[in-house]
Amino acid sequence: NSRFTVKSFQKAKENKERISMLTAYDYSMAKIVDAGGVDAILVGDSLGMVMQGNDSTLPVTVDQMVYHCRCVSRGVKRAMVVGDMPFLSYQISTEEAVRNAGRLVQEGGADVVKLEGGRDMVPVVRAIIHAQIPVMGHIGLTPQSVNLFGGFKVQGKEEAAARNMIADAQALEEAGVFAIVLESVPEGLAKLITEKVHVPTIGIGAGRCCDGQILVVNDMLGMFDDFVPKFVKQYAHMKESMSGAIAQYVSDVQEQRFPERKNTFTMDDAVLEKLQN
Ligand code: KIV
Ligand code: NA
């Protein structure tokens, strides 16, 4: 069970072996996800929504990403840890981008970083790779662009947009990314991009033909079911079992069924007797 690396990503595509990824944001979940055998764990800026309760990823800061990367990397033995670059951490200048990518690695313990965007991001991608930090690309529905897109919508349905996305994928490959996330992209376009680039594509809402898949762990475990997107498969219904357990605890406390004798500490009766006098 050796570490999954950028080399493993390339090998997987060559050998037509699918890559599995999930997100994680904390130590306990990271341990479970890693032990479950996923190849790479993304500390996604989706934590702004899932962990922090915001309605977009825009409020997430570099300090917060460093903190969550550190929590996750401590729990991981085999998977690659991908640190997501948050809004405004790489859009201002290549210098700031390299500094912030470096923080996710140096302080957060991430192995690689991911950032959103296509052709516009080529200089930034090159600069980060120049600093010896591998970069994962992310195109399609890039959530940091939600206000420009006017909502969370499938991207690349029209010819011009689809052509732009193909050009973005090719520019990212040329710039040296080791993989590209395709988010909310029609299956046919995702298939075409997967065939056109030599680095693996990792899909979320991008159909069956990508080289790998990623889901937000809280979605696939059914922990976060306020809204379940079409592309999510719930492999468990954790929210229901958690709610049931908590209701049981509350009634056990109220009815004095918990704690039981086996949950309690004892002391010497003689000492107790002295205390009573
Ligand atoms: O932040 C995130 O969880 C992501 C994935 C959905 C790809 O970027
Ligand atoms: Na993200």
Name the residue with the closest Cα to ligand 1, atom 2. Answer: 44
Domain 6-237, architecture per CATH: Alpha-Beta Barrel (3.20)
**Is residue 55 annotated as involved in ligand binding?**
no
The three-class DSSP label of residue 137 is strand
Q: Are 55 and 49 in contact (CB under 8 A)?
A: yes
Instruction: Name the residue with tokens 């996710």.
Output: 104
* Per-residue pLDDT of the chain in tens (277 residues, 90 and over written 9): 589 999 999 999 999 999 999 999 999 999 999 999 999 999 999 999 999 999 999 999 999 999 999 999 999 999 999 999 999 999 999 999 999 999 999 999 999 999 999 999 999 999 999 999 999 999 999 999 999 999 999 999 999 999 999 999 999 999 999 999 999 999 999 999 999 999 999 999 999 999 999 999 999 999 987 788 999 999 999 999 999 999 999 999 999 999 999 999 999 999 999 999 8
At 138 the three-state DSSP class reads strand
Q: Given the CA of residue 183, which atom of ligand 1 is nearest to it?
A: 7
pLDDT value for 1: 57
What residue ranges do the domains of the chain occupy? 6-237, 241-276
User: Contact, 25 vs 18, CB < 8 A?
Assistant: no
- CA angle 207-213-214, nearest 5°? 115
Ion ligand 2, residues whose Cβ is below 5 A away: 44-45, 84
Distance in angstroms (rounded) separating the CA atoms of residues 204 and 246? 32
Nearest one of 57, 27, 31 to 44, comparing CA atoms: 57
Q: Are 190 and 201 in contact (CB under 8 A)?
A: yes
How many angstroms does the Cα of residue 216 sit away from the middle of ligand 1? 7
- Residue closest via CA to ligand 1's atom 3 equals 44
Q: Which of 159, 183, 260, 273 is catalytic?
A: 183
137 lines ligand 1 (CB under 6 A): no
The full DSSP string for 153-209 is -----SHHHHHHHHHHHHHHHHHT-SEEEEES--HHHHHHHHHH-SSPEEEESS-S-
CB-ligand 1 contact for 42 (6 Å cutoff) = yes
Q: Which ligand is nearest to the CA of 183?
A: 1
Q: What is the ipTM of this complex?
A: 0.99
Quote the pLDDT of residue 224: 81
- At residue 231, the 3 state secondary structure works out as coil
The answer to whether the CB of 209 falls within 8 A of the CB of 200 is: no
Helix (H) or strand (E) holding 270: helix 269-276
Quick check: helix, strand or coil at residue 102? helix
pTM over 0.95: yes
Q: List the end-to-end C-alpha distance of the chain, in Å, as a whole number.
A: 62
Per residue in 10-64, pLDDT (tens digit) is 999 999 999 999 999 999 999 999 999 999 999 999 999 999 999 999 999 999 9
